[in-house]
């Protein structure tokens, strides 16, 4: 046993490694050059530049699907800004928050609390009035030596959808209340037309500048991948056609560069684990599947138990009958499952909401339809690829303690 483990380690050392610097493929790696986004970088930099002279930059809105480089460009510009302001001794505080984090930033209270925490304040998770938390936050930034604060709010559309646009209005208000400090909001959204139902005041203030990130096409993706690949892979381990394939797969999914990079990294890992010295096209297929599994696994394991049970019920129904399935049927199954899983039965009202949440997460597809006088309901189907259904099912069962 020990001997064979030794052998594995030995072999591992002797083998030529595929990766040179795997970090270059990770999502938070910030490359010096961002191909095909030069325009946006310049644009944002121009807008934020007044911060260097302690003037308030305009608020910005960044639109674009996932993996079109919004966060990357934003953090890139921030880095540069930080560097220069640091060397010139101009204090600027930059905060980045993702608004869709469950239990952290998904309500007004929690978002502001989290913001305050980013500036080093202790804020309890409940108990305080929201106004109080705003006050804590405002006080903190007015005490800050740097009077310029830039806040990035990623996936801001999720937050607004859940709890209205008051948050934004209140945050924008800071500038009026505190005359010696200024706060710039950078909203990042996947959804280009979510501003439609925004309070006009918020809309005009936040939309002072708008920057659109259009999806990458396959050619651009290929450029990006090649760029990173030379950094990440050792020479001669990664044939062109693998890159092309990754780019093609990701282009199919609305040009998601994040996905393309993931594909490439995992393909490499698979090849490495197999003990090869070169990545092959077939590894990409395996990687694609692996990513899919990992993605759904992550979503499912972080679900609350009630939601898991609802999802499991949907799962069972989908197996026993052809989609579309309806809310009523799901609720029936759910009720039975509650005993087995030993959780409290929620009302249908609540379950209906949980189903909407699952829909938002993209685990299922739901559409409200009217069947004439046979009522009105949601038609639901799973949006989990067929080839990983079994895996997901057993995952759900073990998560719920059903075996």
Partner DNA sequence: CACCGTTCAGTTGAACTAAGCAACGGAATTCGG
Partner DNA sequence: GAATTCCGTTGCTTAGTTCAACTGAACGGTGGA
* Contact residues: DNA, CB under 7 A: 103, 107-110, 124-130, 304, 306, 326-329, 331, 344-350, 352-353, 355-356, 368, 370-378
| Closest distance of CB 323 from DNA, Å | 14
| Closest distance of CB 398 from DNA, Å | 21
CB closer to DNA, 82 vs 365: 365
Residue 353 φ then ψ, to 5°: -65, -40
DSSP state of 382: E
Q: Which pairs from 325-331 meet CB under 8 Å and 24+ separation?
A: 325/379, 325/380, 325/381, 326/377, 326/378, 326/379, 326/380, 327/351, 327/352, 327/355, 327/377, 327/378, 327/380, 328/377, 330/355, 330/380
Specify the DSSP element, H or E, that contains 173: helix 166-177
> What Cα–Cα distance (Å) separates residue 333 from each residue in 110, 122, 258, 395, 397?
34, 43, 38, 19, 15
CB closer to DNA, 108 vs 269: 108
CB closer to DNA, 247 vs 346: 346
| Closest distance of CB 364 from DNA, Å | 12
| Closest distance of CB 328 from DNA, Å | 3
| Closest distance of CB 114 from DNA, Å | 10
CB 350 within 8 A of CB 394: no
Q: How many angstroms separate the CA atoms of 267 and 262, rounded?
A: 8
CB 323 within 8 A of CB 382: yes
CB closer to DNA, 238 vs 358: 358
CB closer to DNA, 27 vs 368: 368
Crossing angle for the helix pair 281-301 and 257-273, to the nearest 10 degrees: 110
CB closer to DNA, 297 vs 379: 379
State both tokens at 21.
Answer: 């610097």
Q: How far is CA 135 from the centre of its chain?
A: 29
| Closest distance of CB 141 from DNA, Å | 19
Bridge-partner residues for 212, per DSSP? 63
CB 325 within 8 A of CB 366: no
CB closer to DNA, 106 vs 285: 106
CB closer to DNA, 360 vs 389: 360
| Closest distance of CB 145 from DNA, Å | 25
Q: Are strands 60-64 and 376-382 parallel, antiparallel or unpaired?
A: unpaired
| Closest distance of CB 247 from DNA, Å | 38
**Number of other residues whose CB lies within 10 A of the CB of residue 354:** 20
CB closer to DNA, 88 vs 127: 127
CB 262 within 8 A of CB 324: no
Q: How many angstroms separate the CA atoms of 15 and 47, rounded?
A: 50
| Closest distance of CB 374 from DNA, Å | 5
């Amino acid at each position: 046993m020990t001997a064979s483990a030794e052998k594995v380690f030995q072999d591992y050392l002797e083998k030529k490694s595929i990766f040179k610097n795997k970090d270059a493929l990770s999502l938070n790696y910030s490359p010096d050059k961002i191909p095909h986004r030069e325009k946006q970088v310049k644009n944002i930099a121009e807008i934020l530049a007044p911060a260097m002279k302690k003037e308030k930059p305009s608020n910005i809105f960044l639109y674009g699907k996932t993996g079109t480089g919004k966060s990357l460009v934003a953090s890139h510009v921030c880095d540069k800004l930080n560097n220069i302001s640091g060397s010139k001794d101009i204090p600027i505080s930059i905060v980045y928050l993702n608004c869709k984090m469950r239990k952290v930033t998904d309500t007004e209270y929690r978002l502001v609390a989290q913001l305050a925490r980013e500036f080093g304040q202790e804020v309890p998770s409940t108990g305080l009035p929201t106004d109080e938390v705003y006050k804590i936050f405002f006080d903190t930034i007015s005490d800050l030596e740097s009077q310029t604060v830039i806040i990035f709010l990623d996936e801001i559309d999720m937050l607004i959808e859940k709890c209205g646009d008051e948050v934004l209005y209140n945050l924008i208000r800071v500038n009026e209340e505190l005359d010696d400090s200024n706060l710039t909001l950078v909203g990042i959204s996947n959804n280009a037309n979510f501003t439609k139902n925004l309070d006009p005041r918020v809309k005009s203030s936040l939309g002072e500048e708008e920057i659109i990130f259009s999806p990458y096409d396959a050619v651009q993706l290929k450029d990006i991948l090649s760029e990173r690949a030379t950094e990440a892979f050792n020479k001669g381990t990664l044939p062109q056609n693998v890159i092309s394939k990754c780019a093609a797969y990701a282009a199919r999914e609305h040009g998601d560069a994040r996905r393309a990079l993931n594909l490439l990294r995992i393909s490499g890992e698979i090849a490495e684990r197999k003990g090869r010295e070169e990545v092959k096209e077939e590894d990409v297929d395996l990687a694609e599947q692996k990513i899919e599994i990992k993605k759904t696994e992550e979503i499912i394991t972080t679900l609350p138990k009630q939601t898991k049970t609802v999802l499991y019920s949907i799962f069972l129904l989908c197996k026993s009958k052809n989609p579309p399935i309806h809310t009523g049927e799901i609720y029936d199954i759910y009720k039975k499952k509650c005993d087995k899983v030993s959780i409290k039965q929620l009302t249908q009202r609540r379950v209906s909401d949980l189903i909407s949440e699952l829909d938002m997460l993209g685990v299922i597809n739901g559409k409200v339809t009217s069947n004439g006088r046979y009522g009105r309901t949601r038609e639901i189907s799973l949006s989990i690829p067929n080839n990983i259904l079994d895996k997901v099912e057993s995952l759900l069962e073990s998560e719920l303690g059903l075996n």
